[in-house]
Structure 1
């Protein structure tokens, strides 16, 4: 296979996000509707199929793989996927294998993830207030998440916190989240709400431009923009007083699509080249038909060539929902 994936706009595609399930053990209002329908079991890729497809992307030139969900750690046998993909780290074909999780099961899996070559984990954490956390997650246990963060750190994993900047919630939590991260030498990123799915929490009602959140933060700390990337869309600033880092993911207010290097593979084998478009390529059909991988590489390259220039969210949350697909289907 050729060593690189490049789209028609000259962007090198090096980062694959792999959703292993659309199920989750939390019900965050911005991510999943209360009565969401999950994919039928027969349509979900097996662990072996997920490994096969991910390996095909690595052979095409993908250098970073992030395992997502839903909540990836609820997927039965998910450690076998990490174990299988770790061979690409050992061979040097893959630079990084990482995971995004809500942290509820992280205390159980942190050591095993580290043994598989995972070095970084993103943990979704929107509040340190137990009552507010339970409200946002529909009854989630904050203590389980905090225990997972501690276990990850003890296992030697670098932890980054992700918080969705919901207006009416984040303003009361942002300073505590940053202080929590600074005390533990963790990065923290704030993410603008995106108009995906008919969820319980309206994007239009909860949308807060991160420029406004940054002003609130700068009432306490001095921020200096820095030219640092971790391979994703966050733009980072340094806290001058502590040396810590804060990331801002401005999906609506300051589009970063011109530098997009990402693809997304759903748990059902749908390849999305853009989070903000509904078009996808059905890779499950290719690998399950007679002949297996025949046509797989060409399908991947054709999809990458047709990657859109930009998402269709617009610059405001007025069109809502922009897409019917829930955030939980692809892990953001």
Structure 2
């Protein structure tokens, strides 16, 4: 079992397959796709390299793999990549995070490839506001893809980044929506990155305020599984859906960390806001998953106790498209 110096065990791998995104979200890449290109150039991991990575992490106890971006659906070989992850019988859960742009046309293929869970980024249920936030008039497509995922039996979650000026006023609309829609709606605190200092200062909202509201209205917390993500989830008997809260600025957020990240170019990031990634591309390309696993064990000792976001430290993370947030 992969374990760091603080006793934390890592069951969950977030694997970026591209750092390119076709949206222009105001909190991430407001200037568009050019800002999302890696300083090293795109040159993403191949399907074979992803297979080597997954075998190595599976041998270390990883049970859940999430493909992230950028936008994963921009990869033409995404289905073979999903199949490569699914080929490991030790991986119990295969997930993907997407902006939903191509979801209606691709979710069936992803499901056939073995996808268990999809997270769709929908920061507003108002079409005009959605367009303002993302730069695209595609809310209807994202919702259609979400409906199809539910019809296929795929565990479906919705990610909404909380922003004071853009969607905080929609809280009641979001709650009304999940009264009838069986998804987990995850409100994510806006995080400061290298590129969004001013936007963060004017739009950050604490998730604790929403948590107080939920508890007052009779919502109850769901017991976490060991491969669960960072969200604290809540359920209510009157609602078909659930609420999740991801509060990186909350007390002891890092104490329950169970996930590691790999960039699209094969760097191991021990934290989303680490000051560097460890380049493993050469050893990954060699195809020896046992040697790779041994190398990962050596690197895990450098994982720190916390992310230092409270001190304004953002590490190497210029924007969230780099590592999928």
Using structure 2 for the length normalisation, give the TM-score: 0.91
1:300 lines up with 2:296 in the alignment: yes
Q: 1:139 to 1:209 in 2, by over 3 A?
A: same
Q: Residue 268 in 1 paired to residue 268 in 2? A: no
Q: What's the counterpart of residue 221 of structure 2?
A: 225
CA gap 1:140/1:53 in 2 versus in 1, 3 angstroms: farther
State the SS of the aligned residue for 1:159. strand
Deviation larger for 231-240 or 267-276:
231-240
5+ residue gaps, structure 2, are none
- What is the CA RMSD across the aligned residues, in angstroms? 2.3
1:80 paired with 2:80, answer: yes
8 Å contact 1:191–1:250 — kept in the other structure?
A: yes
8 Å CA contact 2:190–2:200 kept in 1: the answer is yes
Residue 104 of structure 1 deviates from its aligned partner by 1.4
Tell me the TM-score normalized by structure 1.
Answer: 0.89
SS of corresponding position for 2:96:
strand
Distance 1:286 1:255, change over 3 A: same
**Which range is displaced more, 171-180 or 59-68?**
171-180
Q: Do the aligned residues in 1 keep the contact of 2:119 with 2:157 (CA within 8 Å)?
A: yes
| Aligned: 1:242 with 2:235 | no
Structure 1 counterpart of 2:312:
319
CA displacement 1:35-60 (0-9 Å, x = unmatched):
51513656322222122222221122
Residue of structure 1 equivalent to 2:162: 165
Structure 1 unaligned regions, length at least 5: none
Q: Whole-Å Cα distance in 1 between the matches of residues 324 and 262 of structure 2? A: 10
Please name the residue that 1:203 is paired with.
200
**1:301-327 deviations in Å (ceiling 9; x for gaps):** 11222211111211xxx7375654211
**Tell me, what secondary structure is at the counterpart of 1:132?**
helix
Distance 1:37 1:66 in 2: 20
Show the counterpart of 1:330: 323
**Pair 1:86–1:321, CA change in 2 (3 A):** closer
Aligned to 1:55: 55
| Alpha-carbon distance, 1:216 to partner | 5.5
Q: Do 2:36 and 2:322's aligned partners in 1 also have CA atoms closer than 8 Å?
A: no
Query: CA–CA distance in 1 between the matches of 2:98 and 2:197?
Result: 21
Q: 1:255 to 1:71 in 2, by over 3 A?
A: farther
**Pair 261,321 (structure 1): closer, same or farther in 2 beyond 3 Å:** closer
**Maintained 8 Å contact 2:261/2:268:** yes
**Matched residue, 2:101:** 104
Moved over 6 A (4+): none
Change (3 A) 1:130 1:320: farther
- Number of positions where the alignment pairs a residue of Structure 1 with one of Structure 2: 321
Question: 1:173 aligns to what SS in structure 2?
Answer: helix
- In the TM superposition, residue 217 of structure 1 has moved relative to its aligned partner by 5.6
